[in-house]
Amino acid sequence: MEFSELIRTGRAQAKLLRGPEAPPLRGTLCVTGHHLLLSPGPQATSDLWLLLLRRVDSIEKRVSGDSGTITLRCKDLRVLQLDIEGVEATLDIARSIEALSSLESVITSFPFFYRPKGLRLGDAWHFHPPERYYKRVARETNAWRLSEVNEDFSLCPSYPRAVIVPRAVDDDALARCARFRQGGRFPVLSYHHAPSGTVLLRSSQPLTGPQKRRCAEDEELLRAALAGARPGARGFILDTRSAQAAKQARVTGGGTEAKAAYPGWKRLHRPLERGWPLQESFVRLVEACGDLEQSMDRWLSQLEACHWLAHVKEALSTACLAAQGVGREGACVLVHGAEGTDSTLLVTSLAQLILDPSSRTMAGFQELVEREWIQAGHPFQLRCAHSAFSHARPKHEAPTFLLFLDCVWQLGRQFPLSLEFGEGLLLALFEHAYASPFGTFLCSSEKERCLCEVRTRTHSLWSGLNQPKEQRKLRNPLYVPNPLAIWPSVELQTLRLWQGLFLRWIRPPEPSEVAWEKVWQIVTDKKTEGCEPTVSASEPRL
Amino acid sequence: MCETQAFFPGTGICKELEDRALLLWLTQEGAESLNRSFHVLEYCRVSSMASAPTSKYNSHSLENESIKRTSRDGVNRDLSEAVPRLPGETRITDKEVIYICPFNGPIKGRVYITNYRLYLRSLETDSALILDVPLGVISRIEKMGGATSRGENSYGLDITCKDMRNLRFALKQEGHSRRDMFEILTRYAFPLAHSLPIFAFLNEEKFNVDGWTVYNPVEEYRRQGLPNHHWRITFINKCYELCDTYPALLVVPYRASDDDLRRVATFRSRNRIPVLSWIHPENKTVIVRCSQPLVGMSGKRNKDDEKYLDVIRETNRQISKLTIYDARPNVNAVANKATGGGYESDDAYHNAELFFLDIHNIHVMRESLKKVKDIVYPNVEESHWLSSLESTHWLEHIKLVLTGAIQVADKVSSGKSSVLVHCSDGWDRTAQLTSLAMLMLDSFYRSIEGFEILVQKEWISFGHKFASRIGHGDKNHADADRSPIFLQFIDCVWQMSKQFPTAFEFNERFLITILDHLYSCRFGTFLYNCESAREKQKVTERTISLWSLINSNKDKFKNPFYTKEINRVLYPVASMRHLELWVNYYIRWNPRIKQQQPNPVEQRYVELLALRDEYIQRLEELQLASSAKLSDPSTSPSGPSQMMPHVHTHF
């Protein structure tokens, strides 16, 4: 297939409106295989305007007289309006965008063509493999080993090649465990808490089914996990479904760990919203945020009706519970829901942020995202296929990763000094998870990434983000390492709507960016020694 | 515990202890450990439902151990040897009570009552709880239970405070044990009803700066470039005979004679004639404040008043219409005609345009805040937090006040028109609107001293009835005159400081400190209703100003991110989306709502302040150096072209 088949028209004259603040742009509009370009013409001072077509979430066209209007709603929640001369041109461009923005093929996507200056292919791909994390665990304890039993992804297609498992369990036993867990996701180590010696594990649900099947190897694996922590250690199984939902899952072959089969383990149920209801909450929130006409007196109850903040609260408090088990009670905690690729990862990754100071650094957080989301098999390709505007029938979309980012943002707001990264990094991750020139968030598992040769043929987002020029935007100037656990308040009164994301394109350019810049100036003033004495004088906003 | 030791007499040490103690509950280890242990409790509760025995795991917790250490070895032990006392503060009594903490349950403690405060320290070894409550904060004291009532802790006192909390103490039922505590508290919390002086008159604290000198009206008007060709300073109200609720010194149009002023006064409610609050340094449009005209049912007119407003309009030649903002909702303004008030009609005032700003009266605001308290204290509304918050309408009122002030500021800054602001009497909503508009327009008021001057000028000197609205020392807790108008203003300021994190020299603690001493009666600043009453009571001679406390320790109240910007007009976004409940003030008593441990944050802020000062100093040196090189004056950076008004009106 050639992109040119999908491009119905080369170019048209258009005016672009980018929200209430930015001035409109006029110029020649042009559709290419991956981009929408607007070239303002030779006499104009402004640069070429470029939009990655994958970023378009929904497209709406209207024609009147001899011109047309296309409204593009993007996955990063921005709304753009294009006024185009000529009805035919409008319809052609709309159709081209529609076709090109919904291409499902991974290997023809833009990351496979993106070759930015200053970056070398394959540069950052070795940054964060599980081997690296295992080295850290091995320094702390002997009870765990790195297993390459999944080398060819045959045991579990959604796990990486190497996983960390109890030393006492051999690869054959792991193979049998894998057959007992949905999707082959047998319990693996997610985090080792060195101060208490206990661990956080994750898996998918056990396939007990209606006959309440058992698996000796699986039971042995969890027993070994407890023994590895400390003789007599207890464990909690944190099921992210309600007790009833877990029970019902037996009908379809799933289920949950039977009490008698796992001595020392105690099961807890913390239902977290997932799938379609979560996506719907996201859609409704974005709708409410964009609804400028409506009387604002109802804003707070609208916000409440979306339940988004309630989901944030649930996610954070479940993560606190897991973190408390590991960090305070000296217990091992196994987290799973059904597939173990969504709310499970939400809980394990947040619990680590709460407990582990090193995951709150710039590098540590990137490693956490890579290890606990990307390599742990969160199906980004499916979950982030569409954002909040799409009219397409949703299939597998769910903003689980966005919910994670929101929770991290809340942590950062409550602990303004304890995270080395700032809102900028979270916004960048949100954007790139949904549409990106980089390959990091492509595909749904390591196996798929291998098949598509993502590592050798695309650039890693991490090498993009870790360029020196990006740092000011991404880092928190106020960071001071905090060796303690950070226990957030999970009350609704302390949680806030993440304005920087949800109202990003709606609010006027508030001075927050200006303020961020000022803080940087104050903190890094040594570097600005030579700069002109106009910095503190009146700085009109443009 | 030895009591003579407890009331340590050395003033120097007392001063320090007092400072520490004041902040302790809010900011220091006490609150932190409480907060942490509360979290532990919270999760204990969560997981004890899941079985785990609750007592075991605290001992495993690293964080917890370090907290225990701080509370054992830190400040708290010093305090156990002395109860803070201000110079001039005398001890009245002490008693063993049970403090029924709404968050952690009953705590046995000893309460000390002085003529200034109620101080409680826990007698339990595992609790570092300290309560330090100025008696001025108390709005109501009730007895709960009777001599025969049953149940644990059912007999005692219930104290309602003005600062969003209640205190409840249980006492032994035998021998009327609460009677003397009740009587003493009533006596010293409500001194006016017992012919006792308010504590501010007894306070003998010494500060190295005198806050009473912060505001000098002549200087402030001179800073604004007044008097000028069109505006003069008049002493007609020197002995408060023109208007007893106005300050002695007023700025009026040059072309209006003193006789004109007297005639206008007859037509304005309580003689509060239109006088200048602020003048734009470049376009010379003005903000003028007053009370409603006495139109009445019959639609009376007054030629002098009409002429006077026209004279105000004509102080700026380019203006064809004077804009009048009536802060009230239209219907209220009409209803006021029945009691002799009203508003400027189109027929009578040809050259004026009138707009209503729909801000509700003091009673609506009081009820709204009451509803806020209902949902945040003692228990925070859990299930429908946001819609409950919405139903208090508090943020909506904030929005209307801010929206009104933005309109005033925009009119003036655009040079389109001068603005006259009034409500009914011109001392509540009017003060809110003029002072907020001035804060948006004039960066001077965003400094610490500038803000003090703003409060002193627009609120204190122009007769916001602090005594009636707050009820200092008065026992009549249900007085219909009480209303949180000033609190609402401070809330609006806080909302602005949230939206413009680098624009204000002061921090959140500055605002909270002002509010704390709005009630505390430790300083004379907010006492009495107007300047004439204050003069009669010789407040400036006999009491200390709150600004003395603040200005002698300014660093504590500074915002490390402040960047001075001359001439920048701030337009906050007054949309519900961008307003939030001031959790750190309204829900500050609830340990579950606390945010990051304050110590590292504050320490970091102090470091940043130091860095910033260094930076500014270097900048000044550079400026000096460069201006020495270039003696050309046209390169001076503060040209008028930098006036950059940007209005974002997303209401």
Residue in A289, A301, A538 closest to B567 by CB: A538
Residue of A nearest to B586 (CA): A493
Contacts of A507 in chain B (CB under 8 A): 573, 577-578, 650
Cβ A335 vs Cβ A240: under 8 Å: yes
pLDDT at A428 over 90: yes
Q: Does B503 touch chain A (CB under 8 A)?
A: yes
What pLDDT does residue A536 have? Answer: 34
The whole-number average pLDDT for the span B611-640 is: 61
Q: Is B423 a catalytic residue?
A: yes
Residue A305 has pLDDT above 80, yes or no: yes
* Interatomic CA distance for residues A505 and A314, integer angstroms: 27
Q: Specify the pLDDT at position B595.
A: 52
Is B508 an interface residue toward A (CB < 8 Å)?
Answer: no
Q: Which of B4-18, B184-198, B406-420 has the weakest average pLDDT?
A: B4-18
The reply to whether B235 touches chain A by the CB within 8 Å rule is no
Mutate to test the interface with A, among B32, B67, B373, B390 (most CBs of A within 10 A): B390
Residue type, A420: E
Is A418–B596 a contact, with Cβ atoms under 8 angstroms apart? yes
Nearest residue in chain B measured CA to CA from A197: B60
Interchain CB contact of B480 with A (< 8 Å): no
Contacts of A414 in chain B (CB under 8 A): 595-596
pLDDT at residue number A6: 78
Query: What confidence score (pLDDT) does residue A43 get?
Result: 67
pTM: 0.86
Residue B157: alpha-carbon gap to chain centroid = 28
**Nearest by CB to A494, which of B384, B577, B593?**
B593
| Closest residue to B583, CB basis, from A236, A494, A539 | A494
In the prediction, which pLDDT does B66 show? 33
Pick the range with the lowest mean pLDDT from A87-91, A250-254, B12-16, B136-140.
Answer: B12-16
Q: Return the closest-CA partner of residue A177 out of A165, A190, A192, A167.
A: A165
Percent of the residues in chain B that have a pLDDT greater than 70, as a whole number:
82
With 50 as the cut, is the pLDDT of residue A538 above it? Answer: no
Q: What's residue A506's pLDDT?
A: 78
| Chain A contact set for B651 (CB, 8 A) | 296
Q: Do B600 and A539 touch (CB under 8 A)?
A: no
- Look at A300 and B390 and tell me if their CB atoms are within 8 Å: yes
Do B642 and A328 lie within an 8 Å CB cutoff? no
Q: What per-residue confidence (pLDDT) applies to A296?
A: 64
The residue ranking higher by pLDDT, A78 or B57, is: A78
The pLDDT value recorded for residue B185 is 95
Mean predicted confidence (pLDDT) in B472-492: 97
Q: How far apart are CA A393 and CA B530, in angstroms?
A: 67
Q: What is the mean pLDDT of chain B?
A: 83
- Chain A contacts in chain B segment 28-87 (CB below 8 A): 36, 39-40, 43, 46-47, 50-52, 56-58, 60-64, 66
Q: How confident is the model at residue B641 (pLDDT cuts 50, 70, 90)?
A: very low
Q: Assess whether pLDDT exceeds 60 at residue A528.
A: no
Q: Give the mutation candidate from A234, A292, A299 for the B interface (greatest B CB count, under 10 A).
A: A299
**Domains of chain B and any CATH numbers:** 91-189 (2.30.29.30), 217-581 (no CATH)
Cα A352-A356-A362 angle, rounded to 5 deg? 95
Which of A44-53, A390-399, B260-269, B348-357 shows the lowest mean pLDDT across its residues?
A44-53
Give the rounded distance of the alpha carbon of A365 from its chain centre.
12
Any idea what DSSP says for residue A24? P
Q: Above 80 in pLDDT, residue A150?
A: yes
B583 vs A493, A519, A539: nearest CB: A493
Rounded mean pLDDT of A110-114? Answer: 93
Taking CB atoms within 8 Å and a gap of at least 24, the contacts of B155-159 are B156/B97, B156/B98, B156/B100, B157/B181, B157/B182, B157/B185, B159/B185
Given this model, what pLDDT does residue B603 score?
A: 63
In this model, does residue B650 exceed pLDDT 70?
Answer: no
| Stretch B283-293: mean pLDDT | 97
Q: Identify residue B67 by its one-letter amino acid code.
A: I
CB contact under 8 A, A320 and B623: no
CA distances from A182 to A154, A186, A194, A341 (A): 14, 8, 30, 11
User: Using CA atoms, how far apart are residues B570 and B583, in angstroms rounded to an integer?
Assistant: 23
- The nearest alpha carbon in chain B to A235 belongs to B52
Flag if A507 and B567 touch (Cβ within 8 Å).
no
Binding-site residues from annotation of B for substrate: 361-362, 423-429
pLDDT of B51 above 70: no
Mean pLDDT of B34-45: 34
Kindly report which listed range (A2-6, A31-35, B136-140, B447-451) carries the lowest average pLDDT score: A2-6
Report CB contact under 8 Å: B601, A417: yes
Question: Is B626 within 8 Å of chain A by CB?
Answer: yes
Average pLDDT (A92-103) is 90
- Give the Cα separation of B530 and B466 in Å (integer): 8
Question: Is the pLDDT assigned to residue B593 strictly greater than 90?
Answer: no
| B622 pLDDT above the threshold of 90 | no
Instruction: Indicate the average pLDDT of chain A.
Output: 89
Taking only residues 86 to 125 of chain B, the set having a beta carbon closer than 8 angstroms to any beta carbon of chain A reads none
pLDDT at B630: 56
B46 to chain A: closest CA residue = A321
* Nearest-by-Cβ selection for A518 from B563, B575, B581: B563
Touching A: B residues 580-619, CB under 8 Å: 580-581, 583, 587, 592-596, 600-601, 604, 608, 611-612, 614-616, 618-619
Q: How far is A150 from chain B (nearest CA, A)?
A: 35
Q: Average of pLDDT values for A71-100?
A: 92
Partners of residue B573 in chain A, C-beta under 8 Å: 507-508, 510
Chain-chain contact of B651 with A325 (C-beta, under 8 angstroms): no
Task: Identify the CA nearest to B128 among candidates B66, B54, B44, B35.
Answer: B35
Select which of B14, B423, B521, B530 is catalytic: B423
Residue B233 vs residues A136, B104, B263, B435: alpha-carbon distances, Å: 76, 58, 18, 20
Interface with chain A: mutation pick from B440, B577, B586, B602, highest number of A CBs within 10 Å: B577
| Choice among A199-213, B37-51, B261-275 with the minimum mean pLDDT | B37-51
Domains and CATH numbers, chain A: 3-103 (2.30.29.30), 130-507 (no CATH)
Which range, of A242-251, B192-201, B356-365, B637-646, averages the lowest pLDDT? B637-646
Min CA distance, A332 vs chain B (Å)? 13
What residue of A is the nearest CA neighbor of B594?
A489
- Quote the pLDDT of residue A519: 76
**Are the Cβ atoms of A508 and B648 closer than 8 angstroms?**
yes
In terms of Cβ atoms closer than 10 Å to its own Cβ (0-12, 13-18, 19+), residue B125 is: exposed
* Separation of alpha carbons B371 and B390, rounded Å: 10
Q: What totals of helices (H) and strands (E) does chain B contain, helices first?
A: 23, 14
pLDDT in tens, A437-496: 999 999 999 999 999 999 899 999 999 999 988 888 899 988 989 898 999 989 888 899
pLDDT band at A45 (very low <50, low <70, confident <90, very high): low
A267, A479, A493, best to mutate vs chain B, most B CBs in 10 Å: A493
What is the distance in angstroms between the Cα of A196 and the nearest Cα belonging to chain B? 8
pLDDT at B355 over 80: yes
CA distance A321 to chain B (A): 7
Q: B390 or A478, which is more confident?
A: B390
pLDDT tens-digit readout, B83-135: 889 999 999 999 999 999 998 899 999 999 999 999 999 999 888 889 999 99
Residue from the list A329, A484, A499 with its beta carbon closest to the beta carbon of B60: A329
pLDDT at A121 over 90: no
Instruction: For residue range B399-439, list pLDDT tens digits in order.
Output: 999 999 999 999 999 999 999 999 999 999 999 999 999 99
In this complex, which of B47, B57, B642 lies closest to A321 when CB atoms are compared?
B47
Q: What pLDDT does B606 receive?
A: 67
The answer to whether the Cβ–Cβ distance between A300 and B386 falls below 8 Å is yes
- Closest CA relative to residue A206, chosen from A243, A168, A250, A149: A250
Q: Is the Cβ pair A541, B64 closer than 8 Å?
A: no
Candidates A360, B421, B327, A277; CA nearest to A368 is: A360
Rounded distance, CA A163 to CA B275, Å?
77
pLDDT at B628 over 70: no
* Percentage with pLDDT > 90 across chain B: 68
